Structure 1
Amino acid sequence: MLVVSVPFSLAELWLAPKLAKLLEFFPHIAFDIRVEDDPIDLARQNIDLRISYGEYHYPALKVVPLMHDAVLPMCAPTFWQTHGNDAFNLADIHESQFIHTNWGPHYVSHPTWADWFSQIGSSRRVDPSQGRRVGLSSLAVSSARLGLGIALGQKTVALGDLEAGRLISLSSVSVPLGHPYCAFIPRSKSEREDIKQLVDLLSDSPGL
């Protein structure tokens, strides 16, 4: 049994596709995916691998940086056909059409629309109270896919939808998150082949 603990926003759109690839290497593996916020007690809950935002949560465990994500504007193609413009100028979009992610108190370093507009040299400030607010970054991506507005979505979370054309990127300008996502592994389990393979599948730099 492989027990993996993961934050809510990464579980469905990022971790699940990686587990599908893991089955190619271990077709009969049993796993238990636990979706929860930090902090958790890996020893008490018998967790083999924890994925967290930031490298500072569990200093006694082996830490493997997985990826440093970034956010960029995205929406459904049909939404842009209806509400967009030929110049792909987000400054002309009404503020009610923007999706805002409420990252929560543990993720204050995550970027906002104000950060993105600042990155492109614009002073525009989009009022979250006039737009569409959601409580998970994965929900922001799903909301954009369903045509509810323009999300500042995580590239890693939205990758499958972007590649399939269910979402389109509205700019090449992205804003990096404040910290990387990391895997935390009890040292006594770090040499297990299933754990090593999963870490390779999750990592931007396999083989660490």
Structure 2
Amino acid sequence: MLTPEDLLFLTAVQSALLTLEAGKMSIVGCSVDRHVTISVPFSLSGKWMVPRLHKLTRIRPDLDLRVDATDHLVDFDRDPVHLAIRYCEHPPDNLHSVLLFADTVFPVCSPNLMAKFEGHLDPDQVVKPILLHDKMADYTWYDWIKSVGLNNQPTVGGHKFSHTGNALDAAIASQGIALGRLALVADDLAMGR
């Protein structure tokens, strides 16, 4: 783990290397392409990436970043995209991949809804309010119910959303309980939403 001082030093070193690279390119007569297009799923774009863009801007103020918020898979041979962020258990062998973070999934709801349960929800109480579903199929309410030993629960109903971010926004608005992915809910949890 890097300390805060290490992270500051890393940022300075990265900036210096980028400056050296730009200088080299100007000497050899090549232009530096300052435009980068990144494809990122809709929910991850709004809940994780956009709130952190200021960090990239601080490191690379000259960068012309283009964010393509879409859930469609990228074809690097045809699509005008330089980078893509996607959830996958097994990245394709023909692509270079970097793990950004591990996925942790757990039920989340607003403080207003939690107050109705006096600040504590047991697993069997979680399935009683309206459950908020998204289209992520890797871990669903059925999986969560099974993981906490509630195998005899009836069919899980509730509202269904095409994007995780919308399900989380509904949870923030006290519309029910959603399955939150840590990367997407960390800021909302920290802000008490």
Per the normalisation by structure 2, the TM-score is: 0.72
The answer on 1:19 being equivalent to 2:38 is: no
Structure number with higher strand proportion: 1
Partner of 1:160: 187
The answer on 1:70 being equivalent to 2:97 is: no
Residues 65, 126 of structure 1: alpha-carbon distance in 2 compared, 3 angstrom cutoff: farther
Partner of 1:47: 81
**CA shift for structure 1 position 85:** 4.1
Partner of 1:97: 130
Distance in 1 (alpha carbons) for counterparts of 2:74 and 2:126:
41
List alignment gaps of at least 5 residues for structure 2: 1-34
> What's the CA shift string for 1:2-49, capped at 9, x where partnerless?
210111221111111232211121123211001223432224333111
List alignment gaps of at least 5 residues for structure 1: 167-208
Partner of 1:118: 146
Q: Does the CA contact (< 8 Å) of 1:55 and 1:65 recur in 2? A: no
- Equivalent residue pairs, number: 159
Distance in 1 (alpha carbons) for counterparts of 2:73 and 2:103:
21
Partner of 2:121: 88
Distance in 2 (alpha carbons) for counterparts of 1:153 and 1:124:
23
Residues 71, 93 of structure 1: alpha-carbon distance in 2 compared, 3 angstrom cutoff: closer
Distance in 2 (alpha carbons) for counterparts of 1:46 and 1:132:
35
> What's the CA shift string for 1:64-100, capped at 9, x where partnerless?
1222212101111011213x24542241356452112
Report the AA paired with residue 33 of structure 1.
V
Distance in 2 (alpha carbons) for counterparts of 1:65 and 1:86:
35
The answer on 1:10 being equivalent to 2:44 is: yes
Q: Does the CA contact (< 8 Å) of 1:91 and 1:124 recur in 2? A: no
Q: Does the CA contact (< 8 Å) of 2:114 and 2:120 recur in 1? A: no
Partner of 1:174: none
Distance in 2 (alpha carbons) for counterparts of 1:163 and 1:114:
27
Distance in 1 (alpha carbons) for counterparts of 2:107 and 2:101:
19
Partner of 1:139: 166
Q: Percent identity?
A: 28
